[in-house]
C-alpha cells in the first residue's frame, strides 16, 4: 500500500509542477461551464422551472458538472494506450506492483488537483452570477452523493482501462477510446440533464452504466431522488462496478498474456 | 504568382495524400475517431431538437435559427480543422527537431507547420454537416442573394480569423517549445460558439465579440444570413481579420527569428 501512496505523492507533485498546463486545462473547462450555464439560463428565461429544475437547481447541475467532470472523467486511458504501444508498459510489468493500482494512484493525484481547482471555479462562478446555489438540506444526502460519485469514478476508471487494454492486440485502440469517451459524455448527462431526452431513449440509457456517472449523482445531490431509491441505485452502481471490474481484469490478464513488448 | 500558387497547391496535395494514406493504414482507429465525431454531431443536434420540444425559442431564436447557428459553427470550425490541422502537432514538430527541416526546405515554414497535415476524417464528417445545413437553409424564409453573399463572406472571414489564432499558437510553440495546451484552450473556448452569442450575459457577449472573437467567427455569418447583423458589424468583422492576420504573421516572423533549434 505504501508503494501506491508514494506513487500518489510523486504524481501530485508532478501535476502541481506543470502549472501552465493545469491553468490552461482549467480555463478551457471553465469556458464550457460558462457556455452551458448561459444556455440553460436562456432556456429557463422567465419560467419558474424547466424540466422540473428551478433556476437554482439548474445552476447547481451545471456547476456540479464541472466538479464531476474533474473527478469522474479523469482516467489513465490514453497513457495506457501509449505505454502499451511504445512498449513502456514492460517496465511496469516487471515491478512488484499491480499496474491498475499504480494507475489508480496516479489518477487519484490528478483528481485531487483538478477537483480542488473545480471547487474553486464553482465558487467564483456562483459568486459572479449571484445565483441561488442549491445545497442539500439533509446531511445524509452528502453521504449518498459521496458514495455515488466514488462508485461512478471507479466505473469510469475500469471501463476506460478495459477499452484502452485493446492496445494489447491492436495499435489502433485510440479510435475506440475516443469514440467511447465522446459517447459517454452525452450518455452520462455531462452536457445536459437526461430529462431533456425522449422517455424511450432515456429508459434505454438507464439500462447502461452511463447515467450512473453524472446524471444520477447530481440528482441525488439535488435531492430529487428519495433516500430509499438512492440506496437502490447505489446498489445498482455497485453491481455495475463489479461487472466492469471483472471484465476489465479479464481483458487485462488476457492482454498481458498476449503482450509481445513491441518497441520495448 | 500563379506559379507560386501552383507550387503550394502541389505541396498541399502531396502532404494531404500522405496523411490520407497514413489514416487508411489505421482503419480501426480511423473508424473509431470518425464514429466519435459523428456521435458528437448527432447528439448535439438531437439535444437541440429535444430542447425545442419543451420551449418555443431560445434567446429569441426558433429551432431552425438555432440550428443555423449550430451548423454554421460546425462548418467554420471543421473547415479550419481540415486546413490547419498541422498546428495540433506544432510543439512536437519543434521539440523533435522536424521544424529545422521545415526551415531549410524551399517552402514557407508557416505553411508546412499549419497546412501540411490534413485530417481526412473531418472531410468525411463535414459532408453530413453540409447536407444538414442545406436542410436548415430550405426551412428558412426566402432570403435575398445579398444575405447569402454576406454569409459566405463572413464565413471566409471567420476561417481567416481562426487562421490568425492558429498562427499565434504555432508561433508560441516555436518561441517557447511549450504551451501545447494553447490549441486545446482554443478548442474549449470555441465550444461557446455552438450557441448564438445572444444567450450569454452582456459582459461575456462583449468578450466573445471583442476579446476572443468567437462570435465574429461563428455567430456573425448566421446573423448576416438572417439579416439581423448591421453593416457596421460586418465592417468590424472584416477589419478585425485584416488586422489580426498581419499581426499574427509578424509575431510568427519574430518567433522564427529568435528560434535557435531545440532538437538534440
Closest residue to B204, CB basis, from A38, A181, A197: A38
Give the chain A residue nearest B23 (alpha carbons). Answer: A172
Q: Is residue B179 very low, low, confident or very high in pLDDT (cuts 50, 70, 90)?
A: low
**Residues of B with Cβ-Cβ distance to A196 under 8 angstroms:** 47, 50-51, 54
Per-residue pLDDT, B33: 85
The ipTM of this complex is: 0.75
Q: Tell whether A32 lies on the interface with B, counting CB pairs under 8 A.
A: yes
Q: Which three cell numbers stand for residue A19?
A: 502549472
Residue in chain A closest to B187 (alpha carbons) equals: A28
pLDDT at residue number B263: 58
Average of pLDDT values for A116-137?
Answer: 84
**In whole numbers, what is the pLDDT of chain B averaged over residues?**
87
Q: Where are the alpha helices (DSSP H) in chain B?
A: 2-25, 27-51, 63-83, 90-95, 98-104, 109-115, 120-138, 145-176, 182-190, 202-206, 214-226, 231-258
pLDDT digits (tens, 9 = 90+) for B194-226: 888 888 888 888 888 988 888 999 999 999 999
Here the cell at position A89 is 508498459
> Taking the CB of residue A205, how many other CB atoms lie within 10 A of it?
18
Q: Which of A87-101, A117-131, B101-115, B231-245 has the highest mean pLDDT?
A: B231-245
Q: What is the pLDDT of residue B216?
A: 93
Q: Is a pLDDT exceeding 80 seen at residue A129?
A: no
Partners of B46 on chain A (C-beta within 8 Å) are 197
Chain B residue whose CA is closest to A173:
B29
The fraction of chain A above a pLDDT of 70, given in percent, is 98
Does the structure show a pLDDT above 90 at A264?
no
Share of chain B above pLDDT 90, in %: 36
> What are the residue ranges spanned by the domains of chain B?
2-258
Buried b (16+ CB within 10 A) or exposed e, B200-218: beeebbebbbeebbbbbbb
At A240 the pLDDT is: 95
pLDDT at B264 over 80: no
* CA distance linking residue A244 with residue A26, whole number of Å: 29
Mean pLDDT, residues A16-45 taken together: 80
Longest CA span, chain B: 62
Average pLDDT over residues A207-214: 91
What are the pLDDT digits (tens) for A86-97?
888 888 888 888
For A181-193, the pLDDT digits (tens) are 888 888 898 888 8
Q: What is the pLDDT of residues B18-70, one digit of tens each?
A: 888 887 888 788 888 888 888 888 888 888 888 888 888 888 888 899 999 99
Residue from B22, B34, B39, B201 whose CB has the most chain A CBs within 10 Å, to mutate: B39
B chain contacts of residue A27, beta-carbon cutoff 8 Å: 185, 188
- Contact: B36, A175; criterion CB under 8 Å: yes
Contact yes or no for B225/B147 (Cβ under 8 A): yes
- Which pLDDT belongs to residue A134? 86
Please identify which residue in the block is written with the cell numbers 463489479: A242
Residue in B28, B179, B189 closest to A20 by CB: B179
Q: What's the whole-model pTM score?
A: 0.83
CB of A169 less than 8 A from some CB of B: no
Amino acid at each position: 500500500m505504501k508503494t501506491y501512496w508514494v506513487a500518489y505523492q510523486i504524481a501530485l507533485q508532478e501535476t502541481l509542477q506543470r502549472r501552465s498546463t493545469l491553468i490552461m486545462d482549467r480555463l478551457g473547462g471553465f469556458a464550457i461551464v460558462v457556455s452551458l450555464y448561459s444556455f440553460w439560463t436562456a432556456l429557463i428565461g422567465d419560467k419558474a422551472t424547466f424540466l422540473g429544475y428551478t433556476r437554482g437547481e439548474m445552476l447547481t447541475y451545471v456547476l456540479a458538472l464541472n466538479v464531476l467532470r474533474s473527478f469522474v472523467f479523469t482516467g489513465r486511458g490514453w497513457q495506457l494506450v501509449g505505454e502499451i504501444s511504445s512498449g513502456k508498459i514492460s517496465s511496469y510489468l516487471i515491478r512488484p506492483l499491480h499496474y491498475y493500482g499504480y494507475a489508480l494512484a496516479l489518477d487519484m493525484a490528478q483528481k485531487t488537483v483538478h477537483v480542488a481547482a473545480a471547487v474553486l471555479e464553482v465558487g467564483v462562478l456562483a459568486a459572479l452570477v449571484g445565483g441561488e446555489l442549491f445545497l442539500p438540506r439533509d446531511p445524509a444526502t452528502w453521504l449518498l452523493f459521496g458514495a455515488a460519485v466514488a462508485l461512478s469514478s471507479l466505473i469510469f476508471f475500469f471501463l476506460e482501462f478495459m477499452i484502452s487494454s485493446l492496445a494489447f492486440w491492436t495499435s489502433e485502440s485510440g479510435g475506440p477510446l475516443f469514440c467511447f469517451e465522446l459517447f459517454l459524455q452525452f450518455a452520462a448527462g455531462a452536457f445536459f440533464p437526461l430529462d431533456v431526452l425522449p422517455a424511450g431513449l432515456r429508459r434505454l440509457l438507464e439500462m447502461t452504466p452511463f447515467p450512473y456517472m453524472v446524471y444520477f449523482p447530481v440528482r441525488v445531490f439535488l435531492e430529487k431522488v428519495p433516500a430509499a431509491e438512492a440506496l437502490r441505485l447505489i446498489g445498482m452502481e455497485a453491481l455495475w462496478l463489479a461487472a466492469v471490474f471483472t471484465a476489465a481484469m479479464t481483458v487485462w490478464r488476457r492482454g498481458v498474456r498476449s503482450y509481445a513488448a513491441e518497441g520495448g | 504568382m500563379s506559379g507560386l500558387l501552383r507550387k503550394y497547391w502541389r505541396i498541399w496535395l502531396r502532404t494531404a495524400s500522405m496523411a490520407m494514406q497514413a489514416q487508411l493504414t489505421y482503419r480501426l482507429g480511423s473508424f473509431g475517431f470518425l464514429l466519435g465525431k459523428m456521435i458528437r454531431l448527432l447528439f448535439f443536434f438531437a439535444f437541440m431538437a429535444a430542447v425545442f420540444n419543451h420551449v418555443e425559442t431560445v434567446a429569441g431564436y426558433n429551432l431552425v435559427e438555432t440550428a443555423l447557428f449550430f451548423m454554421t459553427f460546425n462548418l467554420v470550425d471543421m473547415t479550419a480543422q481540415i486546413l490547419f490541422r498541422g498546428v495540433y502537432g506544432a510543439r512536437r514538430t519543434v521539440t523533435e527537431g522536424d521544424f529545422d527541416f521545415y526551415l531549410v526546405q524551399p517552402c514557407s515554414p508557416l505553411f508546412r507547420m499549419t497546412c501540411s497535415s490534413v485530417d481526412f476524417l473531418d472531410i468525411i464528417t463535414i459532408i453530413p454537416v453540409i447536407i444538414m445545413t442545406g436542410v436548415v437553409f430550405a426551412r428558412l424564409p426566402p432570403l435575398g442573394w445579398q444575405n447569402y453573399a454576406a454569409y459566405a463572406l463572413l464565413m471566409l472571414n471567420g476561417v481567416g480569423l481562426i487562421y490568425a489564432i492558429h498562427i499565434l499558437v504555432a508561433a508560441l510553440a516555436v518561441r517557447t517549445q511549450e504551451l501545447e495546451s494553447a490549441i486545446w484552450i482554443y478548442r474549449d473556448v470555441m465550444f461557446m460558439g455552438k450557441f448564438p452569442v445572444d444567450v450569454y450575459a452582456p459582459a461575456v457577449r462583449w468578450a466573445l465579440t471583442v476579446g476572443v472573437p468567437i462570435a465574429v467567427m461563428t455567430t456573425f455569418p448566421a446573423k448576416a444570413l438572417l439579416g439581423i447583423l448591421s453593416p457596421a458589424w460586418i465592417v468590424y468583422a472584416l477589419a478585425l481579420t485584416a488586422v489580426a492576420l498581419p499581426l499574427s504573421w509578424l509575431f510568427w516572423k519574430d518567433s522564427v527569428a529568435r528560434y535557435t533549434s531545440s532538437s538534440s
